[in-house]
Chains A and B, each alone.
Chain A
C-alpha cells in the first residue's frame, strides 16, 4: 500500500476547514479498516475495543459491588463472586489499561506530533491490533467456558490446582502481551528515527517522553510476564513442577516472576497518563510547561527505577529481612520523581490563564486523586505499616486511586482533548461538566471509605465480611453506581457529538504541538507539507481566530520545512 509521497497541492499552508476526504472517509467498508495500515484508523479501532473492555470490566465491578452490599450472600455464591473480582481485574488490566493510552491516543497522536505520515512499522502496528483481538477473544472465551477464580495475579499453588479456565485466560494474557510488546517496539523505533527537523530530544513534546518511557517498560518487562504465564500453563498442563512444592518447586518464585513484570506494568499505566497531564496543564493554563527537563528525565527515571521495586508486593511472603529492606528503600526512591511532576504541573498553572474546559476538569481531578493515590503509596512502602495493610482494602483503595483516579481520569482528559482532532466534532461542554462531576464524586465515594476499612483490618478478595464493615461497603457500592451514571452520560454526549456535534477547527484549544497543524480530522496522509518542529510549549505563537472559532499560528511558516514543494 505504498502511497505516493506527494500530497494534493494547494497554496494554503494550513487548511482550517474540516476536510471532506479525511482518514475516516478515505476507503470504505469494514475490510478497509481491518486491513488498514493507517495509524489513525488503528488508533480508533483500538479506542472502540478498549472502551468496550472498560465497559465489560465495569460491569464485573458493579456486579461484585452489588454482592458486597450485605455480608454473606446477596446475589451470588462465593465461587461466582471470586470469579467476578478475578475477571474485573484481569479484563481491566490486560484488555483495558495496559494497552490503554498508548494503543489509542499514542497510536493516533504520536506520528502527528512528529509531523510524520505514520509510525515506523505500520504492518507491525496492524499486527499488534490483531494480536489484541485474538488475545481478547481467547480471554473472553475463557470467561464463557468457566471463567477464572484465582484473582488477576494467578498465585500458585492455587492457580495450578483450581479447576477453572486458568490455562485459557493465561494464554489470552500471553497473546495480549505480544500486542503490548510490538506497540512499544514500534514507538521506540518511531521516536528514535522519525523525529522531524528541529525536534531534538529536548524539543519533543512531553507526551512523547511519556510514551517513550512507557515503551521501554513494555519492551523490557512484558517478555518476563510472557515466560511466567508460559510456565504457569506448563505447570498446569504438563506438571513441570517449577512452582509445586510437592515436585520440588517453589510457589514464592512465581510471585517474584509475576511481580517483576507487574510492578513495571503499573508504570506502563501511569506514565502515559502523566504524559497527557503535561499537555493538558500547559495548554489550558495558556503557559509554557514548568520544568520541562525535569519532567522529561523523571519519566525515564521512573521507567528504570520501576524494575527495582517488585518485592514490595511480597513483604509478608517470607523473603528475607534484607530483601524487604532493599525493596522498601528503592520503593521510596520512585516516589520522588512522581511528586516533583505534580509540583511542576502546579507551577505551570501559576500566573497562567486558566480555562476550565472539560480536558482541564479532568486534569485538575487527576491532581487531586493522584495526590491521594501517590501519598497512600507511602504507607504501603514502609515495612512495618505495610505488614498491617498488605492484602487489605487499603491496598485496593490505593491502586484504584492511582490507576482509576490517575490513569483513567487522564485518559478521559486526553480523549476530551483530542476528540475534536480525531473526529472533527466538538461535544457538549455542559454535559461534559456534569459527567466529570459525577465521576469525581462517585469515585471518591466508592474508594475513600475503602482506606478506612482496610486500616481497620478488612481483608481484600472477601466475599463474606464481618458486620461492622457493612456501612463502608454500602457507601462504596452507592459510589460505584454514581460512577456508572457519570460514564453513561459521557457515552451519550460523545456518541451524540459524532453525528450532531459542532464541526471542530484544526486547533480548538490552542496547542502548539504539530498535530494541531493539520485538519480536524486529519487527511489520511496527515500533513500536506513537510513539518518542522518549534518549541512544543510556545503557546504565545498562537492567536485566537473568531471566524473559525479556533487558534491559528501567528507565523504558519515557522513549522513548515518547505512551503508547498514536494520532496
Chain B
C-alpha cells in the first residue's frame, strides 16, 4: 500500500475501539478476505458435487452441455470481466477522490451486472420453455411443433456434436421418446438401444463420428447447472445491492475525503463473484 493511500485514509472517522485508522483499515481488509474464503468454501460444496457426478457419469455432462449456448456464456464472461474492470477503476477513483468518475464506474458496474442477469434470464427462459430443468422437473419437449429445430439444440453446438438435424418431427420424437424422470423407474442402466429418431442409421454422418443419445440420468446435469448458476446469480444480485448502496454513499459525500475502504471491500467481493463465474463457464459450458 502506497503512502498516498495511507495518507488519504487519515482524518477519517475511526471507531473508538481502534487505535488508529490503519488498524481499522487492516481489520476491514482481513475481515473481507476471511469472508471471501467462506464464500469459496460455500461454492466449493457445489464444485465437489459437480466433480463427483461428472467423474462418475461423464456422458451426462457431455450430453447436457450441448443445450447451453457457448456464445451466451462467453458474452456473460466478457460482461463480468468488464464489470470487474469498472469496479477496480471505482476503487482507484475513490482513492484519488475523483467522485464523478467513481459514480460513473459504480453505475457501469451495476449496468454490467444487470446485463449479466438479463442474459441469464434469457437462458433460463429457454430452458424452461423446453423443460430442461432440474431433476424433479426434467421433462424435455419442444414448446410447440411450429418452432424450428435450432431452438432445441443450438445449431452450432449440434454441429459440434455431429448430430445431424433431419426434421423437427424427428427431434420431437427423439426427445419425447425418452422416459421422463420417474420415481418408480429402475436405476439399473437401460439397454444400449437408442431412441428411434436420433439413432436411425440415416442420421449417422458420413465420417462416422459418434451419434449422441440421451444417457440415463441426463437430468443430473441440469440440477447441477441450476444449482450452481442459481447460487451465483443470487450473489450477483447481492453485489448489485452493495454497489447501489455505494452509489448512495458516494452521493452523500462519504468518499469526498478519499476514504475508499468501503469501495475496496465491495470490489473485492465482486472480483470473487466474477472469478466464480469464470469457473462455471469453463465447467458447465466448455466441456469438450
Which residues from chain A sit less than 8 Å from chain B, CB to CB?
1-5, 111, 116-122, 124, 181, 185-186, 188-190, 192-194, 219-224, 226-228, 230-231, 234, 238-242, 244-250, 253, 257, 567
Contacts and interface: CB of A to CB of B under 8 A. Distances in A.
B124 interface: no
Contacts of A234: 227
28 contacts: A2-B14, A117-B16, A122-B17, A124-B31, A181-B38, A186-B31, A189-B31, A192-B30, A193-B27, A193-B30, A219-B37, A223-B39, A224-B44, A230-B231, A231-B45, A239-B134, A239-B136, A241-B220, A242-B49, A242-B220, A246-B181, A246-B183, A247-B135, A248-B57, A248-B135, A248-B217, A248-B219, A257-B45
B19 interface: yes
Interface of B: 13-19, 23, 26-28, 30-31, 34-35, 37-39, 41-46, 48-49, 52, 57, 60, 134-137, 181-185, 187, 216-217, 219-220, 223-224, 226-227, 231
Contacts of A194: 17-18, 23, 27
B30 A238 contact: no
B42 A249 contact: no
A223 B223 contact: no
A193 B49 CA distance: 36
Contacts, number: 138
A231 B42 contact: no
Contacts of B46: 227
Given A239-B136, A246-B184, A193 B26 contact: yes
Contacts of A244: 135, 183
Nearest to B217: A248
A2 B15 contact: yes
Q: Which of B136, B216, B217 has the most CB of A within 10 A?
A: B136
Contact of A224 (B23, B45, B60, B185): B45
Given A2-B16, A190-B27, A248-B181, 14 more contacts: A1-B16, A118-B16, A121-B28, A124-B31, A185-B38, A227-B44, A239-B134, A240-B136, A240-B227, A246-B185, A247-B181, A248-B220, A249-B220, A250-B52
B136 A226 contact: no
Given A246-B183, A246-B187, A188 B30 contact: yes
B17 A224 contact: no
Contacts of B52: 250, 253
A145 B92 CA distance: 52
B134 A241 contact: yes
B227 A247 contact: no
A224 B41 contact: yes
Nearest to B35: A185
B107 to A, nearest CB: 27
Contacts of B15: 2, 122
B34 A223 contact: no
A241 B23 contact: no
A240 B223 contact: yes
A240 B38 contact: no
B49 A253 contact: yes
Can you list the 4 inter-chain pairs with the closest CB atoms, starting with the nearest? Answer: A239-B136, A241-B135, A248-B217, A227-B45
Q: Indicate the member of B38, B184, B219 with the most A CB atoms within 10 Å.
A: B38
Nearest to A1: B16
Contacts of A192: 30
Most chain A beta-carbon contacts within 10 A, residue among B14, B15, B28, B52: B15
Contacts of B26: 193
Q: Which of A188, A192, A227, A231 has the most CB of B within 10 A?
A: A227
